[in-house]
């Protein structure tokens, strides 16, 4: 168990493997919470939730049902469900929580086979990890070395109750086809393949740990002094392979899966070698990479959403949706009364600052070096005449304090102001700089 562990949070689907995990968890002496994700994708979804509640009640454990709405546009329905499921579980965890899932040895073998068939890189051979940081806590898979048949025997021996998911028999899904059509043939020919592939995953994980330590030092050579962003002017001095490795490890710091090699091949070149007046963005399921002011940013996908409108009173602090909070300094803008409205940026906005002529909001944001993805997110403060009298966190800088959402899961989202700059840095050790053909600057 991680040293900071305080509570077990058991992700329970109601299937056989999670029923075994629940039975084992309640014998540990640790405080346990049961959580069930209601996907709403099957007619039996309500019955699954009711069954998990019954299991938790019989075990005298608290149970929470989290309802999600998977987005099929995020890489398909399965990928969308996975992303929504893990986002809900991350949001549920508190510091010191250990989320337990019931992945077992058969799951590990299937995952490794699927990744190999899809052309995974070396680190994809780690497969499913035993333990990793997750949200405010940790994600643990204590059954990962236990075969499915051993779990089934345990469940039958202890007369546990579970429900079988009928979708697990649908061989139109890749994993189910592999499980029912391919794995029996492989196991018949190579009976020890489960142990062998499990050993492959463990050895690869050890090797990855060594590379991760080495790459962490390398990342430090490119990280800005005042933010965890990467400086473009030093990163481009690395070899192409090293650049890819650094960016993948940098994303792994947040627990994000990197984009595919094909996406990274083209997208990273666009980010690093674009002209200074361009702001290219590389998007994939887990996040976004963006460039601004000579630095690379890790951004969530999608970006946090603000509000359409809100009212703020003098001296008050109020929320601006998922984006952050705004505080009106009580002594600021006395001529504007005690009540103002907030709204997002609108094309053509002009800002009426005290003792200054009206100025185009777009130009004001550019002068303040606010990144493009933030310009439509910051709250614009308007008076009774619908005039923009302030931009929270930008101008007047002492009037409205803006505190961005600092959730670690949002990556570098919170760095919205021009105070983050790339200053000249000593070059890294000389290496060749392989600028892609057709992209070398004049």
223-300 has CATH 3.10.20.440 classification: no
CA–CA gap between residue 254 and residue 134 (Å, rounded): 9
13 is in an annotated binding site: yes
Give me the pLDDT at residue 75, please. Answer: 65
The angle subtended at Cα 113 by Cα 300 and Cα 98, nearest 5°, is 50
348 is in an annotated binding site: no
Tell how strand 7-11 and strand 32-38 pair up.
Answer: parallel
Structure tokens at 159: 């007369």
- What mean pLDDT is reported for the chain? 89
Structure tokens at 355: 């003792």
Identify the residue whose tokens are 């392989």: 434
- ω before 302 within 30° of 0 (cis)? yes
Q: Is 168 helix (H, G, I), strand (E, B) or coil?
A: helix
The answer to whether 7-194 and 223-300 have equal CATH topology is: no
Q: What are phi and psi of 258, to 5 degrees?
A: -75, 165
Give me the pLDDT at residue 404, please. Answer: 92
Give me the pLDDT at residue 426, please. Answer: 40
18 is in an annotated binding site: yes
CA–CA gap between residue 429 and residue 277 (Å, rounded): 28
CA–CA gap between residue 171 and residue 125 (Å, rounded): 24
Q: What are phi and psi of 229, to 5 degrees?
A: -80, 160
Q: Is 424 helix (H, G, I), strand (E, B) or coil?
A: coil
Tell how strand 230-231 and strand 63-67 pair up.
Answer: unpaired
CA–CA gap between residue 121 and residue 259 (Å, rounded): 12
**Spans of all domains in the chain:** 7-194, 223-300, 310-410
The CATH number assigned to the domain with range 7-194 reads 3.40.50.620
Handedness of CA 415, 421, 427, 433 (dihedral sign): positive
Give me the pLDDT at residue 417, please. Answer: 65
Q: How far is CA 134 from the centre of its chain?
A: 9
* Burial (CB count <10 Å: 0-12, 13-18, 19+), residue 170: exposed
CA–CA gap between residue 344 and residue 342 (Å, rounded): 7
376 is in an annotated binding site: no
Helices (H), 274-420: 361-367, 372-375
Give me the pLDDT at residue 428, please. Answer: 40
Query: Which regions of the chain are under pLDDT 50?
Result: 419-442
């Amino acid at each position: 168990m991680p040293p900071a562990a305080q509570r077990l949070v058991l992700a329970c689907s109601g299937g056989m493997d999670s029923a075994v995990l629940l039975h084992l968890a309640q014998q540990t002496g640790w405080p346990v919470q049961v959580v069930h994700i209601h996907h709403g994708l099957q007619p039996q979804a309500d019955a699954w939730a009711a069954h998990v509640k019954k299991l938790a009640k019989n075990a005298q454990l608290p149970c929470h049902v989290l309802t999600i709405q998977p987005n099929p546009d995020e890489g398909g329905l399965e990928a969308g469900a996975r992303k929504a499921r893990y986002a809900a579980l991350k949001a549920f965890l508190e510091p010191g929580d250990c989320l337990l899932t019931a992945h077992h040895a058969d799951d590990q073998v299937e995952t490794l086979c699927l990744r190999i068939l899809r052309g995974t890189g070396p680190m994809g051979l780690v497969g499913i990890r035993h333990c990793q940081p997750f949200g405010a806590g940790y994600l643990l898979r204590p059954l990962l070395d236990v075969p499915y048949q051993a779990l089934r025997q345990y469940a039958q021996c202890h007369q546990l109750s579970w429900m079988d998911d009928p979708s697990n028999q649908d061989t139109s899904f890749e994993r189910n086809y592999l499980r029912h059509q391919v794995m029996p043939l492989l196991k018949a020919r190579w009976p020890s393949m489960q142990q062998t592939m499990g050993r492959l995953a463990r050895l690869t994980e050890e090797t990855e740990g060594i590379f991760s330590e080495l790459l962490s030092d390398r990342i430090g050579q490119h990280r800005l002094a005042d933010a965890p962003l990467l400086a473009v002017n030093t990163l481009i001095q690395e070899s192409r392979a090293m650049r890819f490795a650094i960016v993948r490890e940098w994303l792994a710091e947040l627990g994000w899966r990197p984009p595919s090699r094909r996406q990274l091949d083209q997208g990273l070149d666009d980010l690093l070698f674009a002209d200074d007046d361009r702001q290219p963005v590389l998007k994939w399921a887990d996040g976004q990479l963006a460039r601004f002011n000579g630095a690379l940013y890790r951004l969530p996908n999608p970006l946090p959403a603000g509000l359409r409108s809100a009212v703020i009173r003098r001296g008050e602090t109020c929320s601006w949706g998922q984006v952050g909070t705004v505080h009106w300094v009580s002594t600021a803008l006395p001529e504007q009364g005690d009540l103002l409205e907030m709204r997002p940026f609108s094309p053509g906005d002009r800002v009426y600052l005290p003792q200054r002529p009206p100025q185009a909001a777009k130009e004001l944001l550019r002068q303040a070096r606010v990144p493009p993805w933030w310009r439509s997110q910051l709250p614009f403060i308007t008076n009774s005449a619908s005039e923009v009298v302030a931009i929270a966190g930008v101008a007047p800088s002492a009037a409205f304090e803006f505190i961005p959402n600092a959730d670690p899961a949002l990556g570098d989202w919170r760095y919205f102001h021009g105070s983050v700059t790339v200053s000249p840095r000593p070059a890294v050790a000389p290496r060749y700089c392989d600028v892609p053909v057709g992209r070398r600057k004049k």
